[in-house]
Structure 1
Amino acid sequence: MDPHKITCMKKYTLITGASSGIGLEMAKILAAEGNNLILVARSRDKLEQLKSELEPGHNIEVKIITKDLSVYEETLSVYDECNKCGYIVNVLINNAGFGLYGEFADTPLEDEIRMVSLNINAVLVLTKLFIKDMKERKEGKILNLASLLSFLPFPYYSVYSATKTFVLSFSETLAAELKGTGVAVLSLCPGPVDTNFSSPEMLATKAYSINKPADPQKVAQAGVNLLRKGKGKKIVGFNNWFISNLPRITPDFIMMKIKKNLAKPNLV
């Protein structure tokens, strides 16, 4: 494709999981900065409402794609739809994901399979597809939502911790591969966030009472700031940064004992 033609075409930031939480707040911040958006989530009603708020207020274009990214074929179709419509995606934010709390022996297998599909497979597939176009244009940014648990896997979050460890490892190694190509891969690593991600069982643990959930708008702003910076990873909040470094100075068996205690219900 002619580089001059690409320059003249409209560019979009694609956000998955855009109907609530961090994704929704990122959409608001980026819209206010004049970015055209492609919003992806399962809830068309919520996306339509967000579109109606953002387009007239900021003089931007907001496209909506309603898909369940835990389904492989629907994830593939996100790229196909963007390609068919001629959308130039120069920023991809892989935000969609969910967690599950409980003893692994007791948690539903179906939920864990869906979690792996959404938290890992969707990130891998969308990154794989969009990164080829970004490399060809020698321009692009991919922001992947990792977690504090990428550094600090917790008991009772066994599968979720594993998925976020993958996201961080994948992002950092991919960033190294792409150095010098004009394409950046970034990682945002929040701790607990005040969204519907947190179940009542999670909120009742000692960990949540000690490390209070952050405002999703502040986490979203940290993500946007990281996109501006264009490299590296961001652990959101000093407490989370400090906690993420504890394994460096604490023996593994002691660290795991501490984490298991923190992950238990906070009985009063």
Structure 2
Amino acid sequence: MKEYILITGASSGIGYEMAQLLAAKKFNLILVARSKHILQKMQVELSSKYSIDIKYFQVDLSDVQATLEFYQLTKVHELKVSHLVNNAGFGDYGSFLETSIEKELDMVHLNISSLMILTKLFARDMAEMKSGRIMNVASLLSFLPLPYYSVYSATKAFVLAFSETIATELEDSGVIVTALCPGTVETPFHTQEMRKTNAMNTNKPMPAKDVAEAGVKLLLHGKGKKVVGFNNWFISNLPRVTPSVIMMKIKKNLASPKS
């Protein structure tokens, strides 16, 4: 029975670049995103170039019911998932009192609820096989929640805490759970408002391919959490040595528009 690596948010950014790298390593892939046209194109190009099996599913993972139905589809098609990359997610920037509650609820459903659902269901299957790997994409903001990114920061703090705790629960099951923690990455994720902040001017975005390379290594061979880039690692440790009142002032300045 063929084994597959399942990647959510596969049509752009980190997920897209990971798909390219894993295909080159001859892994069969299941690609999930909302962009059917891009997924179809990826399927044709990658399967032809590397002689591997590529499946794709157009799914809106911000819809919890659609996420549950997608899992059932993998059962119907008898797809054996050996590795899961929970990469799909999005953020928003702005004053909490002014941002869209509908958009924030979709963010919570995508970044938290669907990630939790897929982790639970595929981890159960992997535990039965006594083998499997799950990598959840968290963020530098898991360590350093920023004002004006309030809901997004909270969702990524959940992803890291969730990943670390279930990794411990599953230690003797054969299932390894890891968390990838990138800083700013050059993807369509960033709005013009985000790009004008002090944070993005002082900590330039990394190429998505560089982050994807770190992600592939963590997925296939790593354990625990991985903060990508020395500068991001240094920033992630600042809250440990900086008083919280001072740290929050620093974070507010970072999240504010460049003067």
Tell me whether the two structures share a fold, i.e. TM-score over 0.5.
Answer: yes
The answer to whether the 8 Å contact 1:135/1:183 transfers is yes
Q: In 1, Cα distance between the equivalents of 2:70 and 2:212? A: 23
Q: Displacement of 1:88 after TM fit?
A: 0.2
Determine the structure 1 residue equivalent to 2:109: 117
Q: In 1, Cα distance between the equivalents of 2:146 and 2:38? A: 32
Determine the structure 1 residue equivalent to 2:220: 228
Q: Displacement of 1:230 after TM fit?
A: 3.3
Gaps of 5+ in 1: 1-8
Q: In 2, Cα distance between the equivalents of 1:108 and 1:86? A: 39
* Matched residue SS, 2:62: coil
Q: Displacement of 1:106 after TM fit?
A: 0.4
Determine the structure 2 residue equivalent to 1:177: 169
The answer to whether the 8 Å contact 2:133/2:220 transfers is no
Report the residue type matching 2:218 in the other structure.
Answer: L
* Matched residue SS, 2:125: helix
Match of 1:84 among 68, 76, 90: 76
Report the residue type matching 1:172 in the other structure.
Answer: E
Q: In 1, Cα distance between the equivalents of 2:172 and 2:19? A: 28
Cα distance per residue 1:8-47 (max 9 Å; x no partner): x100000000000000000000000000000000110010
Q: In 2, Cα distance between the equivalents of 1:228 and 1:112? A: 32
The answer to whether the 8 Å contact 1:69/1:75 transfers is yes
Cα distance per residue 1:229-259 (max 9 Å; x no partner): 2311100000000000000110000000000
Determine the structure 1 residue equivalent to 2:180: 188
Match of 1:143 among 122, 135, 145: 135
The answer to whether the 8 Å contact 1:141/1:230 transfers is no
* Matched residue SS, 1:136: helix
Report the residue type matching 1:211 in the other structure.
Answer: N
Determine the structure 2 residue equivalent to 1:73: 65
Gaps of 5+ in 2: none
Determine the structure 2 residue equivalent to 1:5: none
Match of 2:13 among 21, 37, 50: 21
Q: In 1, Cα distance between the equivalents of 2:205 and 2:55? A: 31
Determine the structure 2 residue equivalent to 1:58: 50
- Identical columns (%): 59
Instruction: Count residues with an aligned counterpart.
Output: 259
Match of 1:104 among 88, 96, 116: 96
Q: Residues 147-162 of structure 1: matches in 2 within 5 Å? A: 147-162=139-154
Query: Structure 2-normalised TM-score?
Result: 0.99
Report the residue type matching 2:46 in the other structure.
Answer: L
Q: Displacement of 1:124 after TM fit?
A: 0.5
Determine the structure 2 residue equivalent to 1:209: 201
Q: In 1, Cα distance between the equivalents of 2:211 and 2:43? A: 21
Q: In 1, Cα distance between the equivalents of 2:109 and 2:215? A: 23
